[in-house]
Amino acid sequence: MDDWRWMTAQDLGMAIAAGGIDPAALCEVFLAAIAAHPDGKRIYTSVTENRARAEAHAASDRASSGLRRGPLDGVPISWKDLFDTAGTTTEAGTRLLSGRVPVRDALVLENATAAGLVCLGKTHMSEIAFSGLGVNPITATPPNRNDHDAAPGGSSSGAAASVAFGLAAAAIGSDTGGSVRVPAAWNDLTGFKTTHGRLTLQGTVPLCITFDSIGPLCRSVTDAALLTAALGGERAPDLSNPRQDLHMAILDTVAMDGLEQAPADGFRAAVATLQSAGVTVDHLKFPPMEEVFTFAGPLYTADAWAWWRDLISTHPGVMFNQIEERVSAGQDVSAADYIASWTRLRAVRAEFAEAIAPYDAILMPTASILPPKVRRLLDDSDYYKTQNLLTLRNTRIANLMDLPAVTLPTGTPSCGIMLCGQPGRDDALLRVARAAEMALA
C-alpha cells in the first residue's frame, strides 16, 4: 500500500473506480506517512484528520454504491495555508493572522469537496505568499526534495513538499509571480498556473488581487487538468489524443539571460527532445518585455500594500523583515504611476498576445537558477533579494502577460521547462503540455 503514495491522482482515482483501492484505506496511508515523516511538521501547518477520515469514508460508500462524483473522488490532497478551511486555522504563513479560523471553506475547496477530493490538511508557505524562495523563518521552511539544505521554492513550498515526499497525492497552491511553478520545478513536479480569473479567489487570503491565481502541483499534466476542473466545478478537457504537429518558440528576451549551467543544460536537452519528437521550435524576441521589467515591481508592491498595510502598520516588526520590507515599498508608489504602468502593461499584453499567436506554446526555463542554500539566504540580506528576483524572473512573465503556464520536469534535478499558452486558453495549453510530457518521458 505504500506504493499508493507515489501514484498519480488519476491512477488512484481509476483504482478506486475499479475497486482496487478503498478511499478510507488510502487516506490512512497518507495520514500515517505524514505522522511518521521527520519533516511532517515542516510541511504541514495542520493535518485535518477528522475531516479527511469523514470525507474518505463517504467516498468509500459512494464507490461501493456506484455513485462516485468524478474521476478523483476519494483522492487525498493538501491545501496551501491561504485557502480558508472552516474550523481550521488559515494564517497564510504569518503571525499577523495568528489564530485566524474561517467559518467557511474557500469556494475552490467547496468545489473540490463536492467532487469528492479528500482534504488532508494545510501546508506551509512563504509569508503572505510574497517570495519565490519558500524560506519562512517565522513559521517553517519545508525541505527541498533534491537538497535538504536548499530552498524549496515558494510561495507554495509545503504544497510541493507534500507531493514530492509522498505525503499527498497532489496539492493546491496559488501563483502570483511563480508560486506554483517554482516549487514544482525545484521539486521535480508538474505545476499549472491558470489564467488570472479562471478560478475564483473567494475565500483565499490575498496577496495581489490583480495577479493572484490558483493552480495544482502534481505528478502529471492529466492530474493538473483533472484537479483544475474539480476546483472550478467543471469537466476536464480530453487529453487522450494530443496533437503531434506542434509549433513552439523560445522567448529569447529576458528569459534566457544569465542562466546558471544546470537550468540552461536541462532546458536545452528538453528542447532537443521535443524537436526530436517532431515539435517545430523557433526563437522569439520581444523587446517591450525589457521595458515591462522596469516598472513591474511597484505593481506588485502597491497591490500588496493595499491589502496588508493596516496589519503591518499596527504590528511593525512581526513579519520576516525581507517580506515586510518588500510589501512596505508599496506605500511609496503614487496612484498616477500605478495607473500609468497598468495602462502600459495592458498595451504590451496586447502586443505580446499578437506576437505569440502563431505558436502553440512559448518556451523558457522555469527558473534561471538552482535552489540556493537556506542558511545563506537568511544570513545575507542582499543575497536573499537578488536570488528572490532571479527565482521569479521567468515565471513572472506569464503573470505579467496574463498567460496560463505549465512547468514540466526536464530530468535534470530542480530544473523545469515552462510552456506558456495563449491568454485564456488554459485547456488548449494543457493539451500541448500533455504532448510535451509524453515526448519528454
Q: Looking at the annotation, which residues are catalytic?
A: 80, 155, 179
Q: Which amino acid is at 344?
A: R
The full length of the chain comes to 441
Q: At what angle do helices 9-18 and 23-36 cross, to 10 degrees?
A: 140
* Cell 475531516, residue located: 51
Residue 102: count other Cβ atoms within 10 Å of its Cβ.
Answer: 16
CB 64 within 8 A of CB 38: no
Rounded to 5 degrees, φ, ψ at 345 are: -60, -40
Ramachandran assignment for 162, one of left (phi > 0), alpha (psi -120 to 50 degrees), beta (any other): alpha
Give the N- to C-terminal CA distance of the chain in Å, as an integer. Answer: 25
Q: What is the 3-state secondary structure (H, E, C) of the chain?
A: CHHHHHCCHHHHHHHHHHCCCCHHHHHHHHHHHHHHCCCHHHHEEEECHHHHHHHHHHHHHHHHHCCCCCCCCCCEEEEECCECECCECCCCCCHHHCCCCCCCCCHHHHHHHHCCCEEEEEECCCHHHCCCCCCCCCCCCCCCCCCCCECCCCCCHHHHHHHHCCCCCCEEEEECCCCCHHHHHHCCCEEEECCCCCCCCCCECCCCCCCCEEEEEECCHHHHHHHHHHHHCCCCCCCCCCCCCCEEEEECCCCCCCCCHHHHHHHHHHHHHHHHCCCEEEEECCCHHHHHHHHHHHHHHHHHHHHHHHHHHHCCCCCCHHHHHHHHHHHHCCHHHHHHHHHHHHHHHHHHHHHHCCCCEEEEECCCCCCCEHHHHHHCHHHHHHHHHHHHHHHHHHHHHCCCEEEEECCCCCCEEEEECCCCCHHHHHHHHHHHHHHHC
From CA 164, how far away is CA 243, in angstroms rounded?
29
Beta bridge partners of 216: 172
